[in-house]
């Protein structure tokens, strides 16, 4: 037992998850029921992206000694595998065992939002004695948006920005404004987000879209070109280039980018039909369907 604990201490000093897994495995070989070794090996496996392996280790611990921390960490691994129902159950169990476990409460609300249980997310977060941090305010705003209670949503977004005016809060509020077609407000928020972090790629893309719908096509082009410098296969940005070039009557570049977007979307599956449905997984199709359909019809004639 003493040797196993010595190995655990050695593993905790390591900063290499692969080495940690090896050391904790050695500890388990010496002491098969050392729950600390299983727990820490689970953390290391999670860091390596071995989420299933981490879940197995956490489950071993829970079988003998269920605790809030291990439920919480198993929930994180399940969430990483997009097992939102399983994650919700684990985060809920963690919160039952430790009602003041704020990270578990927050993660439970995030998971409920992902499952579109917006009322459940609000019930978890909008409770007395829970400090409304910017992260919690953003999740409340997300839940109210899902319920289409936009007044409550914007109040929470505004509060988050006031508490912590960083690139992420401005960006999150900007996306909300995009969803309700307040393009001028969205554009201002994306400007602020980019000023605070010039590597916020998504902010460039959304600022480009907001500029496009504000009729500022040159500005839209500039942002879409920044987006594809970060990712040359960003088909949404390439579609934005095609639409913006068309509005500026630059028809050759409009057609060039339209064809490039179609080529990326078709990928290796050449059986896909070249029609509007080809774009069904794009932002333009899902969020701005009618405007995009008009643009698609115009570009298809080139």
Q: What is the pLDDT of residues 271-295, one digit of tens each?
A: 778 899 999 999 999 999 999 999 9
Residue 112 pLDDT greater than 90, yes or no: yes
pLDDT given for residue 185 in this prediction: 98
Which residues are within 8 A (CB) of 67 and not within 5 positions of it... i.e. 6 or more apart? 61, 97
pLDDT given for residue 268 in this prediction: 56
- Quick one: average pLDDT of 199-206? 96
The residue written with tokens 């009557």 in the block is 249
- Quick one: average pLDDT of 191-210? 97
Q: Is the pTM of this model over 0.85?
A: yes
The mean pLDDT of the chain is 95
pLDDT given for residue 130 in this prediction: 83
DSSP state of 255: H
pLDDT given for residue 45 in this prediction: 97
The residue written with tokens 């009618």 in the block is 290
Residue 94 pLDDT greater than 70, yes or no: yes
CA atoms lying within 13 Å on the CB side of residue 189? 26
Residue 269 pLDDT greater than 80, yes or no: no
pLDDT given for residue 135 in this prediction: 96
pLDDT given for residue 1 in this prediction: 62
How many CB atoms within 10 Å of residue 49?
A: 12
Distances (CA, A) of 192 to 136, 174, 230: 21, 10, 20
CA atoms lying within 13 Å on the CB side of residue 17? 11
The Cα–Cα gap between 94 and 97 comes to 5
The Cα–Cα gap between 41 and 12 comes to 10
- The string of DSSP codes covering 60-93 is HHHHHS--HHHHHHHHHHHHHTT-HHHHHHHHHH
The Cα–Cα gap between 218 and 215 comes to 9
How many CB atoms within 10 Å of residue 144?
A: 23
Q: What is the pLDDT of residues 20-44, one digit of tens each?
A: 999 999 999 999 999 999 999 999 9
Residues of the chain above pLDDT 70, percent: 98
pLDDT given for residue 138 in this prediction: 97
| 122-138 burial: b if 16+ Cβ within 10 Å, else e | bebbbeeeeeeebbbbb
Question: 78 or 270, which is more confident?
Answer: 78
Tell which residue, 109, 67, 68, 70, has the closest CA to residue 88: 109
Q: What is the pLDDT of residues 38-68, one digit of tens each?
A: 999 999 999 999 999 999 999 999 999 999 9
Question: 272 or 155, which is more confident?
Answer: 155
Q: What is the pLDDT of residues 207-260, one digit of tens each?
A: 999 999 999 999 999 999 999 999 999 999 999 999 999 999 999 999 999 999
Please name each of the domains of the chain with its CATH number: 206-302 (1.25.40.10)
121 — pLDDT class (breaks 50, 70, 90): very high
pLDDT given for residue 129 in this prediction: 82
The Cα–Cα gap between 263 and 242 comes to 13
- Quick one: average pLDDT of 161-181? 97
Residue 245 tokens, joined: 């070039």
Residue 94 near residue 75 (C-beta atoms within 8 A): yes
């Amino acid at each position: 037992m003493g040797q196993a604990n010595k190995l655990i201490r050695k593993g905790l000093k390591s900063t290499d998850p692969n080495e940690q897994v090896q050391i904790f495995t050695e500890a388990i070989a010496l002491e098969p029921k050392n729950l600390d070794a299983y727990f820490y090996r689970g953390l290391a496996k999670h860091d390596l992206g071995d989420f299933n392996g981490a879940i197995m280790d956490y489950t071993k611990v829970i079988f003998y000694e269920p605790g809030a921390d291990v439920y919480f960490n198993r929930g994180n691994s399940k969430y990483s595998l997009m097992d939102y129902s399983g994650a919700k159950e684990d985060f809920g169990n963690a919160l039952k065992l430790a009602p003041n476990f704020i990270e578990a409460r927050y993660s439970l609300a995030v998971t409920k939002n992902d499952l579109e249980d917006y009322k459940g997310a609000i019930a978890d977060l909008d409770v007395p004695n829970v400090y409304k941090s910017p992260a919690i305010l953003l999740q409340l705003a997300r839940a109210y948006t899902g319920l289409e209670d936009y007044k409550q949503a914007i109040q929470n977004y505004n509060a988050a920005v006031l508490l912590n005016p960083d690139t992420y809060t401005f960006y999150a509020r900007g996306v909300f404004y995009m969803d309700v077609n307040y393009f001028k407000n969205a554009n201002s928020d994306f400007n602020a987000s980019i000023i605070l972090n010039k590597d916020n790629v998504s902010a460039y893309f959304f600022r480009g879209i907001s500029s496009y719908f504000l009729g500022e096509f040159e500005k839209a082009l500039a942002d879409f070109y920044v987006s594809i410098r970060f990712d040359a296969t960003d088909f949404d940005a390439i579609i934005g280039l095609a639409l913006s070039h068309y509005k500026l009557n630059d028809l050759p570049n409009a057609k060039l980018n339209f064809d490039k977007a179609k080529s990326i979307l078709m990928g290796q599956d050449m059986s896909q039909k070249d029609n509007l449905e080809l774009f069904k997984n794009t932002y333009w199709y899902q969020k701005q369907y009618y405007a995009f359909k008009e643009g698609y019809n115009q570009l298809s004639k080139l």
